[in-house]
Amino acid sequence: MLLLLAAAPVMFGQDALNHLVAESVLLRGSADIDWTRQKSALRDWIESRLPSNVAQLNADFSNLETRLNAELRQAGLAEPEDPSVGFGYISRLKLTRPAEYPEALVVRAGVSAGCGNDESVYVYHFSQARSRLLEVQGSHEWGSGVVETQLSAPDVSGSRIFYAAWFAVTCASVWNQLDYRLFRIGPGAEPAVPLFSSTHSFVLDEGPNVKLTAQDLLIELGAKAIFPGYTRTYELHYSIGPQGVERIDPVALQPQDFVHEWLTRPWEEMQSRSGNSDTLVKWHNLLHADSVSGDYEFVQPCVNRPGVTQVGVGIDVIGDREIPEPLIVYFLVKDKGNYSYETSGVSFNTEDDCPGETPAADYSELPSLFKKK
């Protein structure tokens, strides 16, 4: 390590690289793991090596990523193949020029964080000069790996929406949490404006699938179903407007999943998706929690009410309240078309025209709005 520090000035002659090497070496074998300074040094080194204007970017981009990663390897900073390398290394840099915004450069840069990489995202605008529009990173305590970034086509004003999402660095489990953000990027060199941020549980190998425009964001992913150990499809659909970001339909793709969503989401989201809200708010207060476990008794279309389905649910756990015996509750779900649902009634009794003969859909084939790969 001392040789690495001593050789760096001779090999590269750049203060930014020397600083990055020094901060990285300090982390190797350290008991006090805080890579904040290393990440700042990495950003400063990247910016010292980026072109200064769009003409230089056009000339240099084809081999820029390869050249930067080669310099990291030569400095002894590139992360080894061993995924449990620990700390003090740099993961492979990724540089993209979005087709929707040729004057922009998106950089993904990460540092080793035990069982993965803690990655930041930078967006730069190039014209006669270079300016940084955005610097953002995930919020997970033990590191955040980038899942995906997307940039929308411009709206009529020339502004674009930038989407970035991270997963939590973990050594084993596929059960994870998606941390996702939206930013508005104007037509010029002004800094990006934060619009929205949220988190949602998900399974690493079941999405997310993402569709982004300047007006809306759709995220589809797999996360825990009401029956423990299984997953279902979740739809996170948002309208992006001048007044803010609002969740809109669809929130689920079938009545049984809508019931689970109704039980676990706050009343502020479910009030507009409930019929007689004065009555249903009491049911929601009784049954709502961030986590509800149980199983479906049946999912039965009602004979005399087209578009209405009764969903019987045996609830075992509501948040931290464990039910001694399953609490059987029956939900009437109205299909309003185009995957838009409404809870029209909740009861401890079944309906005569919904006899409960149709079982719930199993979890072997999850519905999706995206074409299967």
Predicted confidence (pLDDT) at residue 3 exceeds the cutoff of 80: no
* Comparison of pLDDT for 112 and 8, the residue scoring more: 112
Predicted confidence (pLDDT) at residue 363 exceeds the cutoff of 50: yes
* Comparison of pLDDT for 23 and 357, the residue scoring more: 23
Percent of the chain at pLDDT > 70 equals: 95
pTM of the model: 0.91
Predicted confidence (pLDDT) at residue 133 exceeds the cutoff of 90: yes
Choice among 25-39, 159-173, 207-221, 339-353 with the minimum mean pLDDT: 25-39
Predicted confidence (pLDDT) at residue 207 exceeds the cutoff of 80: no
Predicted confidence (pLDDT) at residue 76 exceeds the cutoff of 50: yes
Predicted confidence (pLDDT) at residue 1 exceeds the cutoff of 60: no
Predicted confidence (pLDDT) at residue 218 exceeds the cutoff of 70: yes
**Residues in CB range of 240: below 8 A, 6 or more apart:** 161, 182, 195, 196, 214, 215, 216, 217
pLDDT for 6 equals: 44
Half-sphere exposure of 126 (CA within 13 A, CB side): 21
- Neighbouring C-beta atoms of residue 248, cutoff 10 Å: 14
CA 339 from centre of chain = 22
pLDDT for 85 equals: 73
Angle between helices 15-27 and 2-12 (to 10 degrees): 170
pLDDT for 84 equals: 65
Q: Which residues pair with 121 in a beta bridge?
A: 108, 136
pLDDT for 9 equals: 39
Q: How far apart are CA 344 and CA 60, in angstroms?
A: 60
pLDDT for 37 equals: 94
pLDDT for 89 equals: 94
Question: For the chain, what are the domain ranges?
Answer: 1-114, 138-248, 268-347
Return the CATH number of the domain spanning residue range 268-347: 3.10.450
Q: Model confidence at 2, in pLDDT bands (50, 70, 90)?
A: very low
pLDDT for 80 equals: 85
Compute the average pLDDT of residues 170-192: 92
What's the CATH fold of domain 138-248?
A: Lipocalin (2.40.128)
Query: What is the residue-averaged pLDDT of the chain?
Result: 91
* pLDDT, tens only, 240-292: 998 899 999 999 999 999 999 999 999 999 999 999 878 999 999 999 999 99
Predicted confidence (pLDDT) at residue 321 exceeds the cutoff of 70: yes
The secondary structure element, H or E, covering residue 288 is: none
Q: Model confidence at 83, in pLDDT bands (50, 70, 90)?
A: low
Q: How far apart are CA 235 and CA 251, in angstroms?
A: 5
**Both structure tokens of 61:** 């981009």
177 three-class SS = strand
